Amino acid sequence: MLNLDEYVDVLKGCTRGTGKTTNILSRTIVNIRQCKHIPEADVAELCSKVIEILIEEPNIQHVDTPVTICGDIHGQLHDLLTLLATGNECPETQYLFLGDFVDRGFYSLECFLLLIALKVRYPDRITLIRGNHELRQITTVYGFYDECVRKYGSVNVWRFCSEVFDYLSLGALVGGKGGVFCIHGGLSPDIDTIDQIRILDRKQEVPHEGGMCDLLWSDPDDVPGWAVLPRGAGFLFGENEVNQFLHTNDVSLIARAHQLVMEGYKEIFGEKLVTVWSAPNYCYRCGNVASVLTIDDNLQRNYKVFEAANQDITELPTKRSTNDYFV
């Protein structure tokens, strides 16, 4: 069982040590990757330790290059493992995940535990930001809550993970001035500058409206100004809004996730905004490929496209059907 004292060295920045702490955490990561049951007490400890790290991180994380940016994962563990093999394992590669780790897929818990375990093990080599599915209300409808109850027989593990959601950063800035602004969803009519995001109180369940909500829910579209978003939260925003945001904040690209892209990624608005999607064959039926985006030291982009892991669909666990909201 993982305990507080055995994590101390890791929290002090031990990322490649060979001591007892590192060995225990490494074994836990191996067990998660193999879908082995992690004791509830260990999940509680892991969530507590990652919160201690996340609470010190700002709303907008500053991320150095090179970095590999990843879109939605949605509980598809075997495809997450393929992603890590495609982009090279952490810590050799620095990763930035744009949220939506849970729901839809059958291994949301393992996906989330693996990512936060990597965060504890290599805190400076992986950045996690919040998606619109890292919300209590959403996870009670689209799978994660039911999965936790099915696997542990109570809501405790879901509660532990939901508390972690509240401490995830809202976005990231890659490469500093002239770099890449990274967010899960998109822009907000209430937010003109990145500095405005920095002062938001993120340590809460996401409100149903306002700037914090919009960052997680909004979508780009060919619209003038701002428009109502059919999702029921956030806004549609057009090229003019993207150009204004880039100019005001001295960044060259917006990288976001949040929308299924059949080709794995899609650049729009004169290549000033890109959607990165990292869940291949989404929901085990969409037939799409996935991608990750690497930003190098010169802020050049390199996309790596990958397909779904070979997996017998008949061996997947069953779960109750969910509502019609799809992406």
| 152: nearest Cα among 44, 238, 55, 59 | 44
Q: How far is CA 34 from the centre of its chain?
A: 21
Active-site residue, 133 included: yes
Residue with tokens 């930001």: 129
Residue with tokens 């001295």: 250
The beta strands (E) that lie in 45-186 are given as: 60-63, 67-70, 95-97, 126-128, 171-174, 180-183
| Catalytic residue chosen out of the listed positions 37, 74, 78, 133 | 133
> Alpha-carbon dihedral of residues 223, 226, 227, 233, nearest 10 degrees?
130
CB atoms within 10 A of CB 288: 19
Residue with tokens 């770099």: 179
CA distances for 7 relative to 28, 117, 124, 213, angstroms? 12, 11, 16, 34
Judging by beta carbons within 10 Å of its beta carbon (0-12, 13-18, 19+), is residue 87 exposed, middle or buried?
Answer: buried
Peptide bond into 91 cis (omega under 30): yes
List residues with catalytic annotation: 133
